[in-house]
């Protein structure tokens, strides 16, 4: 004859409570990790050929290398390549609304080099960049403005006025500012393609090393978007 097991009410309550605690603990640890996996901080690199990866495979372009750098540092991000070769600030402004359909939570602006190379009027460049920043901020999207520097052959007056556009706009809109996108790469032949304008793969890695700490400062404020 098999003896029957009698559960006392107190023991049964303890057993049920213990199992509920275990289940809740598993849920609390699993749900955030699932949300983390599904909702990265989406970063849009809004720029021209310098950030688009002109002359390079996609996996060596700035957005992809930046994404991997941030992932290696345990940041949950998705970096979108919003660079278009040949873009001026005028053409970039015209496509901004369409680009915002990517629903970024954070945008890195890298624009103005083509305006400078074509000798476009500085007031026009500043007006366009001003409108771009305004539109982005109106959507409550984080901004990192990266600066550009004019080539010496553009003339001292033009270069001074062009170079001053970026810090002035960063101050006006109170946005984080990275003074020169090509810092550490410009004028260094071994870090550029044969045209000595666009970074090569090694040059892109150098840019990423230098800019990553500035991106990391902003990431905690980035709200994941669906």
Q: How confident is the model at residue 224 (pLDDT cuts 50, 70, 90)?
A: confident
Instruction: Indicate if the pLDDT at residue 77 is higher than 50.
Output: yes
pLDDT in tens, 52-70: 999 999 999 999 999 999 9
Alpha-helix runs per DSSP H in the chain? 9-38, 49-52, 62-72, 89-99, 113-117, 122-138, 156-173, 201-218
Residues annotated as catalytic (active site), given as ranges: 49, 195, 198
Residue 116: predicted pLDDT: 98
**Model confidence over 165-196: pLDDT tens digits?**
999 999 999 999 999 999 999 999 999 999 99
Q: What is the pLDDT of residues 138-152, one digit of tens each?
A: 999 999 999 999 999
Backbone angles phi and psi of 200, in degrees to 5: -85, -175
What's the predicted TM-score (pTM) here?
0.83
Nearest alpha-carbon partner for 186 in 162, 164, 210: 210
Whether 95 shows a pLDDT value over 80: the answer reads: yes
Residue whose tokens read 């305006």: 115
Q: For a pLDDT cut of 70, what percent of the chain falls above it?
A: 83
d(CA 161, CA 126): 10
Taking the C-alpha atoms of residue 64 and residue 54, their distance in angstroms, rounded to an integer, is: 13
Name the CATH code of domain 40-221 (choices 3.40.50.1110, 2.40.50.140, 3.20.20.80, 1.20.1730.10).
Answer: 3.40.50.1110
* Per-residue pLDDT at 131 exceeds 90: yes
Q: pLDDT per residue over 9-46, tens digit each?
A: 555 455 445 555 555 555 444 444 444 456 899 999 99
């Amino acid at each position: 004859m098999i003896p029957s097991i009698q559960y006392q009410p107190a023991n049964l309550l303890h057993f049920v409570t213990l199992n509920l605690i275990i289940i809740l603990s598993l849920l609390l640890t699993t749900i955030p990790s699932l949300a983390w996996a599904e909702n990265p901080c989406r970063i849009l690199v809004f720029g021209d050929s310098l950030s688009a990866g002109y002359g390079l495979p996609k996996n060596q372009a700035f957005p992809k290398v930046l994404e991997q750098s941030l992932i290696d540092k345990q940041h949950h991000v998705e970096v979108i390549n919003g660079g278009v070769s040949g873009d001026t600030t005028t053409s970039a402004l015209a496509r901004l609304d369409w680009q915002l359909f990517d629903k970024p939570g954070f945008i890195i602006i890298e624009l103005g080099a083509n305006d400078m190379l074509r000798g476009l009027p500085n007031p026009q460049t500043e007006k366009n960049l001003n409108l771009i920043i305004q539109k982005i901020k109106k959507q409550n999207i984080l901004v990192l403005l990266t600066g550009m520097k004019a080539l010496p052959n553009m003339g001292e007056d033009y270069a001074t006025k062009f170079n001053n556009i970026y810090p002035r706009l960063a101050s006006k809109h109170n946005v984080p500012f990275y003074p020169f996108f090509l810092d550490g790469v410009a004028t260094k032949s071994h870090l550029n393609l044969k045209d000595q304008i666009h970074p090569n793969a090694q040059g892109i890695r150098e840019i990423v090393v230098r800019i990553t700490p500035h991106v990391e400062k902003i990431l905690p404020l980035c709200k994941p978007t669906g």
